[in-house]
Amino acid sequence: MLPEAFHIPAVFVVLAAVVSALTFLRAAPDAVLTAGLTVLLACGVIAPKDALEEMANEGLIAVAALFVVAEGLKQTGGLSFIGQQWIGRPTSLIVAQLRILTPSAVMSAFLNNTPVVAMMMPIVADWARKNRISVTYLLMPLSFAAILGGLCTLIGTSTTLVVHGLLRDYERLNDLGTGAGLSMFEVAWVGFPATIFGLLYLLFAGQKILTERRPAITFGDDPREYTVEMTVEPGSPLVGKSIEEAGLRHLSQMYLSEIERGDRTLVAVAPTECLEANDRLVFVGIVDSVVDLRKIPGLVPATDQTFKLNAPTDKRVMVEAVVSNTCPFLRMSIREARFRSHYNAVVIAVARNGQRLRQKIGDIELLPGDTLLLEAPPGFLTSRRNSRDFFLVSEVEDSTPPRHDKAWLARLVMVAMVAVVTAGLLPMMTAALLAGGLLVVFRCCRIADARRSIDWSVLITMAAGLGLGAALDKTGGARVIAEVLIRAAGDNPWVVLAIVYFLTMIFTNLITAKAAAVLFFPIAMAGATGLGVSHKPFAIAVVVSAAATFATPIGYQTNLMVFGPGGYRFSDFLRLGGPLSLIVAAITLVLTPFIWPF
């Protein structure tokens, strides 16, 4: 155990080591942050109660619950619908960023930015995968846009609400004005222009500053193509829409080969061709694209055998199986082999050495080496993995067919969650837990899938980052440094305002937004009193600087959320977020004294 006199130096040494490791090493963020917190615990710098109390942080629990909400939307197809409506099919990366960042900023003005980022992350990741764009260019700007939008209203961030409560108490104790604190849109005088200029910066500078990082296996590494037939269901939302409007024109690594309509076959299908009920669509593409087709409402496999499987739709998976040379059904058609009856699995598509198979699925004769894409119960994997009928059996990731009949219910739950939080009827954590529970009760998401959907690395990263911030706050080191620097500012209110702003901004990026706001608010009020000037511009400076956290991932939870999934390094936040922090600072320091005079 370290003596108390060494606690402050120990915190700064550990914090410097964590920042260095995150900047220069390729270690996982959750492991680095947890290691730093563990060292402080082992040295007795912070008590276990103080370090681990952040595990009960409302924002952290809300994020965990929102993973379940997102999973329910994903499994019902409601999530892809939202992605199509918000993002659509942009022609360039900058257009995609505009369609992602703008609604995120608008929603964050009326809803806490943490759930906004949690809900948007899977939508953005899915869109990036389909369009073969690195999420590096999207997730960090998404977090920054949500933070910027939160600067426009009183309820945009919990940090603003914290300062509002402190300001209201301060005004009442000192008989200043009405003691009402901040009005709903008062901070927008600074927050709105900061958001506009911030979004423009992200749109035009993001691509140039961020370094693209792709996984080791790229989107083009799987050359195996399947021929798959899908049918437009009667009453489907696709009926009457053109190929372009239905979203079947620009599919990722898949193309629409032809349409069979009654006795006619339409080849070289035009994008303006309108779909009709019972149209049989023939696609050619890779396995991931086949999975995406199954997620389009109103489009079902052409074979009617899927309705005869002995398993509910929401418990089925897609499996790839390679036919062996000892399979008993070689040289027999899939229909003659009675494949579904024998294996309790249905052939959705067949790949054969890159050949274009023009027969209907049931008429294809099985040959050694054919790769079959099957829809089957999960038990197929265990029962057939070592079968002599197949060389290889493997499950296709994320291939369970969506329950489109529950999509409207999942969307209704999500809208209700947003509405009750916006109206102030329930806090975000309670609303998210209630929404996640309702999705499980209504069977939009199974309990096992709800557990699996929670990304524990994100939660551990957030909790450990908040714990490090608590250590810096509770040792008293931050307060000592801040007070010394404020005293050195002299009696110029502009200089004091700037120092308050930049100190709050620096410590916000090192500890947490709420901790920095609580730390610097009394210091800022003391500075205003000592100068004999209005306290309001100093309060606004604390609000904006504490909420505008861009330069590090550990300062705010939305940055921590995108840190790992985006493949970022610590330096990425400084390179993109540092200039953005200065832009917001310049706008705030220029406008604040004119809107709220000293």
Structure confidence by residue, pLDDT tens digits, 405-418: 787 888 888 788 87
Can you read off the two tokens belonging to residue 254?
């898949």
**Residue 72 pLDDT exceeds 80:** yes
CA distances from 358 to 349, 353, 365, 562 (A): 11, 14, 12, 44
Helix axes 456-474, 7-24, angle to 10 degrees: 150
Helix axes 570-595, 7-24, angle to 10 degrees: 120
Residue 216, pLDDT score: 34
**Residue 247 pLDDT exceeds 80:** no
More confident site: 514 or 76: 76
Determine the Cα–Cα distance for residues 473 and 466; give it in Å rounded to an integer.
11
Highest mean pLDDT among 191-205, 389-403, 443-457, 563-577: 191-205
Q: What angle do CA 420, 423, 424 make, to 5 degrees?
A: 85
What's the mean per-residue pLDDT of the chain?
A: 79
Stretch among 133-142, 249-258, 343-352, 495-504 having the lowest mean pLDDT: 249-258
The CATH class that applies to domain 226-395 reads alpha beta
* Per-residue pLDDT reduced to its tens digit, 145-183: 999 998 888 767 767 777 777 787 778 877 776 666 777
Average pLDDT over residues 426-449: 83
**Residue 341 pLDDT exceeds 90:** no
Helix axes 113-130, 58-76, angle to 10 degrees: 40
Residue 397 one-letter amino acid = E
Long-range contacts from 210-215, C-beta under 8 angstroms, 24+ separation: 210/136, 210/137, 210/140, 210/572, 210/575, 210/576, 211/136, 211/572, 212/134, 212/136, 212/137, 213/134, 213/136, 213/567, 214/134
**Residue 215 pLDDT exceeds 50:** no
- Give the number of other Cβ atoms within 10 Å of residue 267's Cβ: 8
**pTM recorded for the entire structure:** 0.61
**Residue 265 pLDDT exceeds 60:** yes
Q: b/e per residue, 585-598, with b = 16+ CB within 10 A?
A: bebbbebbbeebeb
Average pLDDT over residues 535-554: 88
